[in-house]
Amino acid sequence: MRRRFAVASFSLAVVLGCGTLPAAAAAPADTSRSALAADALAAPDVDVTKVQAHLSELSAIAGRNGGNRRSTTQGYRDSVAYVKGKLQAAGYTVTEQPCTSGCTSGAGPNLIAEWPRGDANNVYMFGAHLDGVSAGPGMNDNGSGSAALLENALTLAQQNPAMRNRVRFAWWTDEEQGLNGSKFYVRSLSSTQRSQIRAYYNFDMVASTNGGYFINHITSSAAAPMKAYWDSLGLRPEENTEGAGRSDDYPFEQAGIPTSGYAMGASARKTSAQAAKWGGTAGSAYDPCYHRSCDTLTNINTTGLNRAADGIAHTLWQQAVS
């Protein structure tokens, strides 16, 4: 997630250590889960161990390239090659989109993958930024969103269901320098292409160790399947106020495209009410390693990562599968 310097409340908290966030309170009854299952169109359970395997590879890529995956580095380009190779092997139509204006000099490309099934006039997009900051390998920010998205794409290909609508995935460049890759993509669309995108879903920092469960535009129709899934787990998600205007959903929103997405929080501090609801430490940052060298594989909340990955699958199946 891009840092927004102007808001003082987003200051970085003292590192308190990295662990797994306690599970949220259990749902009071199973009726909502049963109703959700009836609606879920057999959405698969995304294997979190496979998501973790993608994270491990992104970590190894950073390790081989100066310890980071900044958009202008070989670490980023190698990250693109890894994701692209997996998608192509699964049967996706994959495009590297060079950012020819507005991006940092030397930034690598956006990566766009479309599953070639379903109505091309009704597109649901799912995206995450693949770049990180120079300070560290960027495992939560944003290896977590990138890896969860990749495994969802591979799961869709493996399941190969009949598709009602089209699904397009994106891994963005240069987010950390100003949302530049996604801005370029949206600018590159014709008015017809923009109108074909029914909703864009963004996933940025979905495994924060002291995190909460946040949804962009939580009351919108685009957010409804995402909220329904987390509600079924008894998580009682909240609006992602910290992330407003700070990640790759914003250029889509500015273009009039409905947006939503999951997040678990960055440098803002968890409230006492949130700690009572979700566990974790009140008064501490959602991610104590935000934009720091300690954003490594030990800075991943596996429970949150799993819940995000499965919520993505539920949303995808609801919006696009026949």
Residue with tokens 């008015």: 191
Residue 211's identity, in one-letter code, is G
- What is the rounded distance in angstroms from the CA atom of residue 176 to the CA atom of residue 247? 9
Residues 86, 91, 93: CA angle, nearest 5 degrees? 95
Q: How many other CB atoms are there within 10 angstroms of residue 4's CB atom?
A: 14
Q: How far is CA 216 from CA 169, 174, 204, 219, 259, in A?
A: 18, 21, 11, 9, 7
Question: Residue 166 in 3-state DSSP?
Answer: strand
Q: Crossing angle of helices 302-320/145-159, nearest 10°? A: 50
Strands (E), 65-209: 93-97, 110-115, 119-129, 165-172, 197-203
Residue 276 to residue 269: CA distance in whole angstroms: 14
CA distance 138 to 96: 21
Q: How far apart are the C-alpha atoms of 23 and 1, rounded to whole Å?
A: 24
205 in helix, strand or coil?
coil
User: How many Å apart are CA 210 and CA 301, to the nearest integer?
Assistant: 8
Catalytic machinery residues: 175
Residue type, 281: T
| Contact between 214 and 226 (Cβ < 8 Å) | no
- The answer to whether 181 and 103 are in contact (CB under 8 A) is yes
Joined together, the tokens standing for residue 181 give 């890759």
